[in-house]
Amino acid sequence: MNKEQELLRKKSPVNIRNKKASFEYFFVDTFTAGIVLTGTEIKSIRMGKASLVDTFCYINNGEIWVKGMNISPYFYGSYNNHESKRDRKLLLNKREIKNLQEATKQVGFTIVPTLLFIDDHGRAKLDIALCRGKKEFDKRQTLKEKEDRREMDRVRKRF
């Protein structure tokens, strides 16, 4: 990801992260995908009423889908409101989907959503990552590194 793309994600009014994913997995490769939304879903996302907890992606008939993504019903919606937890189709190139499908056939690899944001054209985008699961000792190492960084910041702040 280049600096322009990172700036776009930071500048976005909506940044919904899957914090657990970086603790549970090593990110091998990342992709940015569009999402097919219906009705009032985009309004709920713009209000920040979405969650990526316990979500994953799967490939079915050459299409990639995200499962378990929660977008709360729009508060001002009527009978037209959407289902909060439904499978949503992601928009990627055929070549990217084919590469992801081949990679997930290997043992230990999965596709996990990491960030939901609004781009500069007002469209909802989802960053997904091809991930390899961490072992228990890797998770302990991650916690140690996080604590060390905090301790260094505390010391730096004092002086």
* Residues of the chain with confidence (pLDDT) below 50: none
pLDDT tens-digit series, residues 4-19: 777 777 777 788 899 8
Pairwise CA distance, residues 23 & 122, whole Å? 30
Label each residue of the chain as H, E or C. CCHHHHHHHHHCCCEEECHHHHHHEEEEEEEEEEECCCCCHHHHHHCCCEECCCCEEEEECCEEEEECCEECCCCCCCCCCCCCECCEEEECCHHHHHHHHHHHCCCCEEEEEEEEEECCCCCEEEEEEEEEECCHHHHHHHHHHHHHHHHHHHHHHHC
In the prediction, which pLDDT does 1 show? Answer: 65
Report yes or no on whether pTM surpasses 0.75. yes
pLDDT tens-digit series, residues 100-130: 999 999 998 999 999 999 988 889 999 999 9
